Structure 1
Amino acid sequence: MAQHAKTIVTETTAENTNFRKFGMKDKIGYLLGDFGNDFFFILVASFLMVYYTDVFHINPAAVGGLFLFARLWDAVADVTWGRFIDTRKAGKNGKFKPWIFRMSFPLVISGVLMFVHIPGMGNGFYLAWAYATYILWGTLYSTVNIPYGSMASVITSDPVERTSLSSWRTLGGNLAGLIINVVGPMILFVDNKADANHFLVGAVIFGILSIACYMGCYKLSVERIVVDETARSNVSFGKTVKGLVKNRPLIWILIASLTFMMTFMLIGAVNVYLFKDYFGNAKALSMVGLIQALTVFIGMPMVKPLVAKFGKKEVASAGILLAAVVYALLYFLPNLSANQFIGILAVGAWGYGLFNLVVWAFVADVIDYHEYLTGLREDATVYSIYSMARKVGQAVAGGIGGAAIAAVGYNPNLQAQAQSTLDGIHTLGTLIPAIVFAVVFLMILFLYPLNKQRTEQLAIDLAEQRKENN
């Protein structure tokens, strides 16, 4: 084993500190963090494009350009903020929690501003307002999400407990998704059309709920893994970069997550047009949101025993393969009713729900692998790299989604879309996800190296390395 710079990493215990042991409070606290995040994240992912096209009357291709530019900017913000946090010392409340408390209020305010519509303004004003508020929200989102995501690796070092945290995080996101996707269409749309005033009311309601969740996360979560900062001043960024480049698990989970996130965001954006125009029933989006949440609730108690028996990699790859098969089936069944479509879609949602339930545990593993390679515990830096990949995925999805909706001929000024446009929307919502999910399956199965056996061995090797360094 290569010699590493001495960076002392210790896990404080309940016996030598006042910290309680890892338990249900941590799980609920961590759940609340993504609950708070996803009130606006899912609102934006599912409905911001239709708000911009149907309320601001911005061309969908221009919306795609905005999404592409903003997400690429956010990717840079993620890495910058992650590196900044890793240079800060932990306080009495931890290293990451205080940033959630400080930055959540400006984040929520910026989220509400995105949905402010000033009547009677010109197209240039609305486009400029969209750029300013959306980019501001995305930048502030980094300041909360990076410390939140990094916190998982310092709440516990146990691989099974980390899988549990990943599942609870996903549950939190899906609870927010349940509210946004089920209640949202009932609030946001009037007579099957996006309503500016209703969108603003929805944003205010979701903002209040978001703040409450962030405060719950701050109160209930405990950071237990403490890094001795004395050696950090001697660490060069170059060494960090070399470790990242050599981190094969990180590289492949980055690529797989980027690809998955691109597809997931595309599905969310296209589904609005699919149900509003192809099926002529925007309210059916509520049922889609309910089904997506229920599949996660069903899958959650299954994940821990499945991962314990088969491993994270194995469970995630099986789930994403199932999703690919289901979306391919939906493409070849174009004459389904909305309810029939949703019924089949439920199986695919359960498949990619399994992937989502374990994906955050992958991140904790690659942070450990980075420490094993370099001797450096850099949770926020590594997590920010992962978050950057997801943001790039969102950027690509936003750019492609807007361009694709425009390319199939969507015109918000028409009462009814042309049949060729409807067929194009159907293809975007079925065949494209099927192809990309299949690619993600192949990457996880054949290229991501940390299977069940190697992950367990990594935990053992890292524990031994820490003892040697101490």
Structure 2
Amino acid sequence: MGQPANKTAVEQGSTNGFRKFGMKDKLGYMFGDWGNDFFFILVAAFLMVFYTDIYHLNPAVVGGLFFSARLWDAVADVSWGRFIDTRKAGKNGKFRPWIFRMSFPLVIVGVLMFVHIPGMSNGFYLAYAYVTYILWGTLYSTVNIPYGSMASVITGDAVERTTLSSWRTLGANLAGLIINVVGPMILFVNNRPDANRFLLAAIIFGVLALACYMACYKLSVERIKMDETTKPKMNLGHTMKGLVKNKPLIWFLIASLLFLVVFMLIGAVNVYLFKDYFGNAKALSMVGLFQSIAVFVAMPFIKPLVGKFGKKEVASGGLLLATVVYGVLYFLPNLTATQFIGVLTVGMLGYGIFNLVIWAFVTDVIDYHEYLTGLREDGTVYSIYSMARKIGQAVAGGVGGAAIAAVGYNSSAKAQSAETLQGIHTLGTLVPAIALGVVFLIIVFLYPLNKKRTLQLTIDLAEKRKGNN
């Protein structure tokens, strides 16, 4: 059955041949980020130590690679998002087919990133790292942009979108559970990273990632469809004006960028913190386990909490908790690894709550863009958000590598100096406390879409769509 010709957008239901939104969609969306994060988390947590301790590249040089690659990815994100928005939806939707098409080359290049050819020069290793890492990041955009954009067309219900955000975060944490718990057991031999083990892990995680992408493709349904006969023509100038006026988007981008910087910095520094400061790299498995447990514990409470208090309110509470915990850890430098992990788990619960809600913010700012401009540009708006994340990754990569180098880390040394160890501890505690505190202040005082305004936005947008009849 066709769509009504006089509506800009319509949510397809069972009468149109689509099943009702339900558990299959939640599982499908979960599998998408599960597939994404098999490599994203592996790269975020362990690629720097692979480059510094196996390729023997200078940490500052690795930081330069991460910075430049992520800046390129930011451009690729926006370009791909704009491209997606110019495509018409087919029988399988607008976004799902791209997940199917591009996941295969993405995984292949992901495995190639972790190939080590013994006896080559530093110049060769650096060139190989640049080519494979930048190509992987570009291909990641071709899968992640349609995947992230898809949430806003799976359902139009604001609370159900929060459940999609939570299930997406669950997928990421399931990947994190496997990589952060099993990864150190595979990757390190006698507290040192092993090249053959890294390649084996990449192959295993690559196969699992492909399986997850196929599950996402099969289980998800795009219900909200644009009527192409009445859809306004895309105008870059009109779009840019809408983006500039979209204050929720702007402040959310700033907060997300800073959060991702600190989140990735924590992941990168934790490897050195436990490997060198605590002398126990395999304790990272416990960090990964408790990080996932914290999210699993929080997840059932997110939907009722958001329903009662709102996304902004719940997210800011989690950020405040994480800020306090990292501040406390800085002032307790003599904890054992076990004690440190015990306290850290409370902090991971805090930023885990923020992560469980964050993707629902994206659908709200997409709706706000449509309210301002009359244009439904899911791919473009999501790609702007993804661009901010890539810039955050660029900054985190650059800052992380430079910071590790600045505190005097020497990959050839059997043990690091006391000053270097203290610097690593500061990077892993005080820096996250300050950055997370700033994100908390931005969300509380500058991001405008509280519960009341979000509910009103849903009503106003529905009225505006009816006005196009």
TM-score interval for Structure 1 and Structure 2 normalised by the shorter chain: over 0.9
> Residue 226 of structure 1: SS of its match in structure 2?
strand
Pair 1:13-2:13 in alignment: yes
Q: In structure 2, how many angstroms separate the alpha carbons of the residues matched to 1:230 and 1:36?
A: 35
Q: In structure 2, how many angstroms separate the alpha carbons of the residues matched to 1:69 and 1:231?
A: 41
Please list every run of 5 or more consecutive structure 1 residues that lacks an aligned counterpart in the other structure.
1-5
> Residue 10 of structure 1: SS of its match in structure 2?
strand
Q: In structure 1, how many angstroms separate the alpha carbons of the residues matched to 2:426 and 2:410?
A: 17
Further displaced range: 17-26 or 228-237: 228-237
> Residue 76 of structure 1: SS of its match in structure 2?
helix
Matched to 1:226, the amino acid is K
User: 1:275: which partner in 2?
Assistant: 274
Residue 120 of structure 1, CA deviation: 0.5
Check whether the contact 1:7–1:375 (CA below 8 A) recurs between aligned residues: no
User: 2:31: which partner in 1?
Assistant: 32
User: 2:299: which partner in 1?
Assistant: 300
Check whether the contact 1:96–1:151 (CA below 8 A) recurs between aligned residues: yes
Residue 399 of structure 1, CA deviation: 0.1
Q: In structure 2, how many angstroms separate the alpha carbons of the residues matched to 1:272 and 1:308?
A: 37
Check whether the contact 1:112–1:204 (CA below 8 A) recurs between aligned residues: yes
User: 2:379: which partner in 1?
Assistant: 380
What is the correspondence of 1:252-331 to structure 2 with a 5 Å cutoff? 252-331=251-330
User: 1:94: which partner in 2?
Assistant: 93
Q: In structure 2, how many angstroms separate the alpha carbons of the residues matched to 1:157 and 1:252?
A: 23
Q: In structure 1, how many angstroms separate the alpha carbons of the residues matched to 2:127 and 2:29?
A: 36
Residue 232 of structure 1, CA deviation: 4.6
Check whether the contact 2:7–2:466 (CA below 8 A) recurs between aligned residues: no
Pair 1:154-2:156 in alignment: no
Deviations 1:114-153 (A, max 9, x none): 0000010000000000000000000000000000000000
Q: In structure 2, how many angstroms separate the alpha carbons of the residues matched to 1:36 and 1:234?
A: 34
Q: In structure 2, how many angstroms separate the alpha carbons of the residues matched to 1:25 and 1:356?
A: 22
Q: In structure 1, how many angstroms separate the alpha carbons of the residues matched to 2:245 and 2:229?
A: 25
User: 2:84: which partner in 1?
Assistant: 85
User: 1:174: which partner in 2?
Assistant: 173
What's the % identity of the aligned pairs?
77
Check whether the contact 1:9–1:225 (CA below 8 A) recurs between aligned residues: yes
Q: In structure 1, how many angstroms separate the alpha carbons of the residues matched to 2:125 and 2:21?
A: 48
User: 1:3: which partner in 2?
Assistant: none
> Residue 213 of structure 2: SS of its match in structure 1?
helix
Matched to 1:88, the amino acid is R
Residue 12 of structure 1, CA deviation: 1.4
User: 1:135: which partner in 2?
Assistant: 134
Q: In structure 2, how many angstroms separate the alpha carbons of the residues matched to 1:10 and 1:108?
A: 35
Matched to 1:444, the amino acid is I
Q: In structure 2, how many angstroms separate the alpha carbons of the residues matched to 1:114 and 1:235?
A: 38
> Residue 91 of structure 2: SS of its match in structure 1?
coil
Check whether the contact 1:324–1:435 (CA below 8 A) recurs between aligned residues: yes
Q: In structure 1, how many angstroms separate the alpha carbons of the residues matched to 2:325 and 2:102?
A: 40
Matched to 2:349, the amino acid is W
Q: In structure 2, how many angstroms separate the alpha carbons of the residues matched to 1:213 and 1:328?
A: 37
Check whether the contact 2:36–2:209 (CA below 8 A) recurs between aligned residues: yes
User: 1:371: which partner in 2?
Assistant: 370
Matched to 2:416, the amino acid is Q
Check whether the contact 1:111–1:137 (CA below 8 A) recurs between aligned residues: yes
> Residue 281 of structure 2: SS of its match in structure 1?
coil
User: 1:235: which partner in 2?
Assistant: 234
Matched to 2:143, the amino acid is V
Q: In structure 2, how many angstroms separate the alpha carbons of the residues matched to 1:234 and 1:436?
A: 41
User: 2:3: which partner in 1?
Assistant: none
> Residue 229 of structure 1: SS of its match in structure 2?
coil
Q: In structure 2, how many angstroms separate the alpha carbons of the residues matched to 1:378 and 1:386?
A: 13
Pair 1:337-2:336 in alignment: yes
User: 2:143: which partner in 1?
Assistant: 144
Q: In structure 1, how many angstroms separate the alpha carbons of the residues matched to 2:310 and 2:234?
A: 34
Pair 1:209-2:208 in alignment: yes
Residue 10 of structure 1, CA deviation: 1.2
Q: In structure 2, how many angstroms separate the alpha carbons of the residues matched to 1:148 and 1:120?
A: 40
Paired positions, count: 464
Q: In structure 2, how many angstroms separate the alpha carbons of the residues matched to 1:28 and 1:233?
A: 33
Deviations 1:387-424 (A, max 9, x none): 00011011000000000000000000000000000000
Q: TM-score, normalised by structure 1?
A: 0.98
Residue 196 of structure 1, CA deviation: 0.3
Deviations 1:28-68 (A, max 9, x none): 00000000000000000000000000000000000000000
Check whether the contact 1:7–1:377 (CA below 8 A) recurs between aligned residues: no
Check whether the contact 2:8–2:231 (CA below 8 A) recurs between aligned residues: no
Check whether the contact 2:255–2:439 (CA below 8 A) recurs between aligned residues: yes
